[in-house]
């Protein structure tokens, strides 16, 4: 890592030197007018152009500038370049327009639209026989795969683009994305190798378009921040600050603000960090780059959390998850569409192969070749399906981790605060005006306070149990215990809560129960969660049964209710943390979604089994099987 940082220092030094040299050299592509006046001037020039080739180049110049300001407007002008390229019947220009249109769709979060444009670019390459330019499409396709978190597909395409770029000075673009890909995957050795190549390319920046040079500089600064080289990143940004200020483009402004906000957060300058992060969010929202908007929302949540403002932190985290889930939906839709298209193509290929098989059925060689082709198609489908499933699994794991964190914040900020506020308000009222409260009102207030404290106690118990389970300190130890006394004790304690909803609780023990290998406290917590759930989701005036009987080498404890039962979708969510099911508590009781998760873990730690039998509208039965001693 020391060599890596030394190399990074060297890169920073060379870039700074290049910046100084650049101010005396080429200054092309930087407009002299304010951006909106410049854009208006360019649009007027485009409208006045009469030659198709001139219109193509003018629209392309507007598109290149708008890529850093407003992606939706940039999309409109790259679509115009595509129309002009078609009118000119120029396949190279058409291929480039399709590729860049796909790239804009990708940055806007429309990955399905991006894949359609890339497919059109490859089709044009195939039809026209111009395959030498496919590296350009390969780069944008690889970048899109990277954006939807499929690095296995992204890496070879980015590598191909890097190796085949005819203009060496542009190789930094796939080179940079490869470095980020390796950094994100934790492969610092290969990331360092890509940085070495970036260093070698710096000398090629003498004649590059200055907008691209500024883009390179700000992205390199972002990488430095990712690597913790905050001071060097800050110096690099400040060395070009006047040029960025002169341009006043949303993408550059947003990246400057976000990078500086992350540095300020690291230095515990939280007020400055918050202001800069809000500026970055405004710029990225105007630019409409969904990736950077999501990244900034997540950073804002972290800044507010560091400031102790958990309410705003939770709000930004929720907004981040909305963006994240929308992106996931777009990703899955795009991947699914590609799989469907490939499936349809494979079906067409299979039909064609069957036709050939009928024609050439007497020739063994062709039959064998046909079989091999079918097997290859099947293998490709299996590989694609497995990659899709793996991607879905990894994404779900990441989403579950973030959901858990959000729910814990929500529990603390809402579920615990609500009953606590009820207790505080009522107790304050009773303290200030005791003479104004008659016996009936006092009884009512006492009931509300009691129920509120019960909610808090159950919530805290569940959170403590989850913490113990996940930190593997639950302390469940099995020994020979007698279940009958535990069942009677639980029945006596829990049936009181059922009476509040006019629910009749029945204890049914068949015969004399044998000793079981279990933990007494864990069994009591299991009964408490299952019975409370039965009360919570049962309408008033129904029956809840607690049953126990000996079955072979085990003892079965069951809790039966007459509630709404579970849908098929509900059954897939059971025993998971924070899952919300279709049914709601019948008296608006709080439900954190932790009870069944705790039950399952406690049962498993006692080497037992938990089963559920339920039909929608016909109630639910939970069965816990414990081994006999």
Distance CA 11, CA 195 (A): 8
Distance CA 2, CA 176 (A): 21
Q: Is the pLDDT of residue 16 over 60?
A: no
User: Under 8 Å CB-to-CB from 283, ≥6 apart: which residues?
Assistant: 250, 251, 253, 254, 257
Q: By three-state DSSP, how is residue 540 classified?
A: coil
Tell me the per-residue pLDDT of 53-77, one tens digit each, with 9 for 90 and over.
999 999 998 998 898 899 999 999 9
Most confident segment among 94-98, 220-224, 319-323, 555-559: 555-559
Range with the poorest average pLDDT among 18-22, 109-113, 413-417, 615-619: 18-22
Q: Which of 454, 459, 442, 448 is nearest to 493 (CA)?
A: 454
- Looking at per-residue pLDDT, the higher value among 435 and 570 belongs to 570
Q: Which of 87, 81, 125, 83 is nearest to 100 (CA)?
A: 81
Residue 557 near residue 487 (C-beta atoms within 8 A): yes
306-310 long-range CB contacts below 8 Å, 24 or more apart? Answer: 306/265, 306/268, 306/270, 307/270, 307/274, 310/409, 310/412, 310/413
Which pair of tokens denotes residue 449?
């306070």
Evaluated on CA atoms 200, 205, 209, 212, the torsion sign reads: positive
> pLDDT confidence of 408, banded at 50, 70, 90?
low
Distance CA 486, CA 239 (A): 73
Distance CA 117, CA 98 (A): 5
Q: Calculate ∠ Cα 572-573-574, nearest 5°.
A: 100
Q: Is the pLDDT of residue 243 over 80?
A: yes
User: What values do phi and psi take at 584, rounded to 5?
Assistant: -110, 150
Q: Which residues pair with 62 in a beta bridge?
A: none
DSSP β-ladder status, 516-518 and 504-509: unpaired
Q: Is the pLDDT of residue 364 over 90?
A: no
Tell me the per-residue pLDDT of 513-532, one tens digit each, with 9 for 90 and over.
999 999 998 899 899 889 98
Average pLDDT over residues 577-589: 72
What's the DSSP call for residue 563? S
Distance CA 608, CA 63 (A): 65
Q: Is the pLDDT of residue 25 over 60?
A: no
Residue 283 near residue 271 (C-beta atoms within 8 A): no
Inter-CA distances, 255 with 130, 160, 290, 312, 467, Å? 37, 28, 14, 23, 38
Query: Torsion angle of alpha carbons 179, 184, 185, 189, nearest 10°?
Result: 40
DSSP string covering 590-604, please?
A: ---S-HHHHHHHHHH
Average pLDDT over residues 17-30: 36
- Looking at per-residue pLDDT, the higher value among 128 and 520 belongs to 520
DSSP β-ladder status, 609-614 and 479-481: unpaired
Q: Is the pLDDT of residue 109 over 90?
A: no
CA atoms within 13 A on the CB side of 28: 8
Q: Is the pLDDT of residue 383 over 80?
A: yes
Which pair of tokens denotes residue 284?
């990225």
Most confident segment among 196-200, 380-384, 471-475: 380-384
Distance CA 365, CA 356 (A): 12
Q: Is the pLDDT of residue 494 over 70?
A: yes
Average pLDDT over residues 473-478: 70
The pLDDT assigned to 110 comes to 85
- Looking at per-residue pLDDT, the higher value among 194 and 473 belongs to 194
> pLDDT confidence of 141, banded at 50, 70, 90?
confident
User: What values do phi and psi take at 397, rounded to 5?
Assistant: -60, -45
Q: Tally Cβ neighbours within 10 Å of residue 50.
A: 6
Range with the poorest average pLDDT among 83-97, 207-221, 403-417, 554-568: 403-417
Average pLDDT over residues 369-392: 77
- Looking at per-residue pLDDT, the higher value among 207 and 423 belongs to 423
Cα 149 from chain centroid?
10
Q: Is 186 left (phi over 0), alpha (psi -120 to 50) or beta?
A: left
Distance CA 261, CA 292 (A): 14
Residue 504 near residue 543 (C-beta atoms within 8 A): yes
Q: Which residues pair with 627 in a beta bridge?
A: 554
Residue 564 near residue 615 (C-beta atoms within 8 A): no
Most confident segment among 106-110, 138-142, 326-330: 106-110
Distance CA 90, CA 359 (A): 41
The pLDDT assigned to 238 comes to 92
Which pair of tokens denotes residue 272?
């400055």
First to last CA, the chain: 57
Which ranges constitute the DSSP H helices of 35-171?
A: 35-48, 52-66, 71-88, 91-107, 111-128, 134-147, 151-164
Q: Is the pLDDT of residue 280 over 70?
A: yes
The pTM for the full model equals 0.49
Q: Is the pLDDT of residue 357 over 60?
A: no
User: What values do phi and psi take at 551, rounded to 5?
Assistant: -135, 100
Residue 555 near residue 513 (C-beta atoms within 8 A): yes
The pLDDT assigned to 365 comes to 65
User: What values do phi and psi take at 444, rounded to 5?
Assistant: -65, -45
Range with the poorest average pLDDT among 114-123, 362-371, 384-393: 362-371
The pLDDT assigned to 81 comes to 93
> pLDDT confidence of 30, banded at 50, 70, 90?
low
Average pLDDT over residues 20-36: 50
Distance CA 253, CA 245 (A): 8
Mean pLDDT of the chain: 79
Angle between helical axes of 439-470 and 595-605 (0-180°, round to 10): 50
Average pLDDT over residues 374-397: 77
The pLDDT assigned to 425 comes to 63
> pLDDT confidence of 402, banded at 50, 70, 90?
low
Average pLDDT over residues 160-172: 69
Most confident segment among 13-17, 65-69, 371-375, 427-431: 65-69
């Amino acid at each position: 890592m020391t060599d890596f940082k030394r190399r990074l220092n060297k890169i920073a030094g060379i870039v700074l030197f290049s910046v100084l040299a650049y101010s005396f050299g080429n200054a092309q592509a930087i407009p002299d007018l304010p951006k909106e006046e410049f854009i208006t001037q360019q649009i007027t020039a485009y409208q006045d152009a009469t030659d198709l080739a001139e219109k193509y180049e003018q629209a392309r110049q507007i598109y290149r500038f708008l890529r850093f300001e407003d992606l939706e407007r940039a999309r409109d002008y790259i679509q115009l370049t595509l129309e002009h390229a078609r009118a000119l019947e120029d396949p190279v220009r058409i291929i480039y327009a399709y590729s860049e249109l796909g790239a804009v769709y990708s940055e806007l979060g429309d990955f399905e639209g991006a894949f359609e444009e890339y497919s059109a670019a490859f089709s044009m390459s195939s039809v026209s026989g111009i395959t030498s330019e496919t590296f350009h499409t390969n780069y944008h396709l690889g970048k899109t795969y990277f954006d939807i978190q499929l690095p296995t597909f992204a890496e070879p395409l980015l590598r191909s683009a890097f190796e085949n770029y005819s203009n060496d000075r542009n190789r930094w673009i796939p080179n940079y994305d490869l470095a980020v890909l390796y950094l994100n995957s934790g492969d610092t050795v290969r990331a360092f190798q890509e940085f070495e190549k970036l260093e070698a390319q710096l000398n090629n920046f003498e004649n590059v378009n200055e907008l691209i040079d500024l883009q390179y500089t700000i992205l390199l600064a972002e990488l430095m921040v990712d690597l913790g080289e905050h001071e060097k990143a800050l110096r690099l940004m400040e060395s070009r600050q006047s040029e960025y200020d002169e341009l006043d483009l949303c993408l550059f402004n947003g990246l400057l603000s976000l990078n500086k906000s992350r540095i300020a957060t690291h230095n515990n300058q939280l007020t400055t960090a918050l202001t800069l992060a809000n500026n970055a969010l405004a710029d990225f929202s105007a630019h409409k780059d969904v990736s950077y908007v999501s990244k900034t929302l997540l950073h804002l949540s972290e800044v507010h959390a560091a400031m102790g403002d958990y309410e705003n932190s939770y709000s930004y985290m929720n907004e981040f998850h909305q963006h994240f889930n929308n992106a996931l939906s777009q990703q899955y839709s795009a991947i699914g569409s590609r799989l469907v298209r490939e499936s349809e193509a494979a079906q067409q290929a299979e039909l064609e192969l069957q036709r050939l098989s009928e024609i050439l059925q007497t020739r063994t060689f062709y039959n064998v070749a046909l079989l091999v082709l079918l097997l290859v198609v099947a293998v490709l489908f299996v590989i694609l399906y497995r990659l899709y499933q793996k991607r879905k699994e990894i994404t779900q794991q990441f989403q579950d981790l973030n959901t858990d964190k959000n729910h814990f914040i929500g529990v603390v900020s809402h579920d615990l605060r609500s009953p606590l506020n009820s207790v505080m308000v009522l107790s304050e009222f009773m303290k200030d005006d005791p003479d104004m409260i008659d016996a009936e009102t006092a009884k009512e207030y006492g009931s509300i306070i009691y129920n509120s404290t019960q909610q808090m106690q159950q919530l805290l118990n569940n959170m403590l149990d989850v913490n113990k389970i996940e930190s593997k300190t639950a302390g469940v130890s099995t020994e020979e215990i007698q279940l009958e006394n535990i069942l009677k004790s639980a029945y006596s304690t829990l049936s009181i809560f059922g009476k509040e909803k006019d629910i009749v609780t029945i204890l049914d023990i068949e015969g004399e129960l044998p000793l079981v290998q279990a933990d007494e406290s864990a069994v009591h917590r299991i009964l408490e969660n299952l019975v409370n759930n039965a009360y919570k989701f049962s309408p008033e005036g129904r029956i809840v049964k607690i049953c126990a009987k000996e079955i072979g080498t085990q003892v079965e404890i069951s809790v039966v209710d007459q509630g709404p039962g579970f849908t098929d979708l509900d059954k897939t969510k059971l025993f998971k943390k924070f899952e919300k099911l279709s049914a709601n508590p019948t008296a608006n009781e709080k439900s954190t979604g932790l009870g069944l998760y705790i039950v399952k873990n406690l049962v498993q730690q006692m080497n037992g089994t938990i089963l559920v039998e339920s039909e929608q509208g016909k109630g639910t039965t939970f069965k816990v099987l414990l081994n006999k001693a």
